[in-house]
Structure 1
Amino acid sequence: MNRHAPGQDDRIVYRGRKIDLALRPVTLADGSTTEREVVLHRGAVALLPLLDGDRVCLIRNRRHAIHKSLLEIPAGTIDPGEPPDACAHRELREETGYVAGRIALLTEWWVSPGLFTERMYLFRCDDLRPGKARLEPDEEIEPVEVPWDHAVSMALDGRIEDAKSMLAILYWDRVRRVAST
């Protein structure tokens, strides 16, 4: 099933560029029915662009919803009909300018399953070649290369505040530490 597509009984109350908002009928344990608000989302990719010398390419990203710039891993919404790995290649180039020789899916998760249908796919990006970023007109993004251990410290001490970035950095740090033992 297309995760962005509404369920057969959903009532769409808003259609947007990246999300739709639906009221979904739900039958409760006592047999009564109610409606839940559900944000329909196509899904997204999150990227760990790993550079030689044990560094990672993060981005400083202006987030208008919270009126703040955050240090994050690159990420983006999957276009209709686009496979997640193709989106990963596209978003890496758009946001950082880098082109990856290899991209591998590490894991995936539900972003906020109490409200969103969004599934996020985390990709490791290796063998990076520099190029020119291709930002969307409304994006304010600056690539920032960070030593890996520094990125882990920032995820742990609150300097990285974005959940997908904290999860991705700490997940990959754990995987690589287990693999080296």
Structure 2
Amino acid sequence: MSRPAQSHHAPGQDDRILYRGKKIDLALRPVTLSDGTTAEREVVLHRGAVALLPLLDGGARVCLIRNRRYAINKTLLEVPAGTIDPGEPPDACALRELREETGYIAGRLSLLTEWWVSPGLFTERMYLFRCDDLRPGPHARELDEQIEPVEVPWEQAVAMALDGRIEDAKSMLAILYWDRMRRESGA
């Protein structure tokens, strides 16, 4: 793949930037309403992100992470993920985030799908990668991350996505999407 992510973080020509942050900017974007008048809408500008399915034992297990989420003051079970750096291709971000959060190095990386995270407010595009042929290596977590890798049997991960033990939307989508794809392909 090795192409830069589309720059959804860049402001539109007429955006009025209210806040510039490390990972997001907040803008007011002018829009034309159906009656021809103009209004402003709040838009969160985001560079995009990756979500990862690190598969072990030919897909019999998946490496998830316990991740402390400060916004909700709770630790969640999630697929590894991370924000794309400026100018970074999504696949390079996927390899970096896999190593940082799990310690694994992927021998093979496959883009499964991509989606808009919350298009009513965010410009964030998420890229879902399947990670295979994993080799253990050192993790490189950021100082503010409280992450613990957890290896889970695949069928248990699917059950957790369905019964509410996995509460994170990207993780639920990633697990259920891949489960459907692998069942349809007979893998």
Query: Percent same amino acid among aligned pairs?
Result: 83
Q: Give unpaired runs (5+ residues) of structure 1.
A: none
Name the structure 1 match of 2:173. Answer: 167
Deviations 1:120-168 (A, max 9, x none): 0000000000111100000000000000000000000000000000000
Amino acid at match of 1:139: E
Name the structure 2 match of 1:33. Answer: 38
DSSP 3-state at the match of 2:138: coil
Whole-Å separation in 2 of the counterparts to 1:88 and 1:52: 20
> Residue 106 of structure 1: which of 88, 106, 112 is its match?
112
Whole-Å separation in 2 of the counterparts to 1:2 and 1:48: 24
DSSP 3-state at the match of 1:57: strand
Name the structure 2 match of 1:63. Answer: 69
1:100 Cα deviation (Å)? 0.2
Runs (4+) of structure 1 exceeding 2 A deviation are none
1:95 Cα deviation (Å)? 0.2
> Residue 42 of structure 1: which of 40, 47, 59 is its match?
47
How many residue pairs are counted as aligned between the two chains? 181
1:24 Cα deviation (Å)? 0.2
Deviations 1:38-92 (A, max 9, x none): 0000000000000016000000000000000000000000000000000000000
Instruction: Establish whether residue 137 from structure 1 lines up as the match of residue 138 from structure 2.
Output: no
Whole-Å separation in 2 of the counterparts to 1:12 and 1:147: 45
DSSP 3-state at the match of 2:181: helix
DSSP 3-state at the match of 2:75: strand
> Residue 5 of structure 1: which of 7, 10, 30 is its match?
10
Whole-Å separation in 2 of the counterparts to 1:19 and 1:142: 25
1:2 Cα deviation (Å)? 1.9
DSSP 3-state at the match of 1:160: coil
Q: Give unpaired runs (5+ residues) of structure 2.
A: 1-5
Amino acid at match of 1:59: I
Whole-Å separation in 1 of the counterparts to 2:34 and 2:139: 51
Whole-Å separation in 2 of the counterparts to 1:65 and 1:131: 30
Name the structure 1 match of 2:121. Answer: 115
- TM-score scaled by structure 1? 0.99
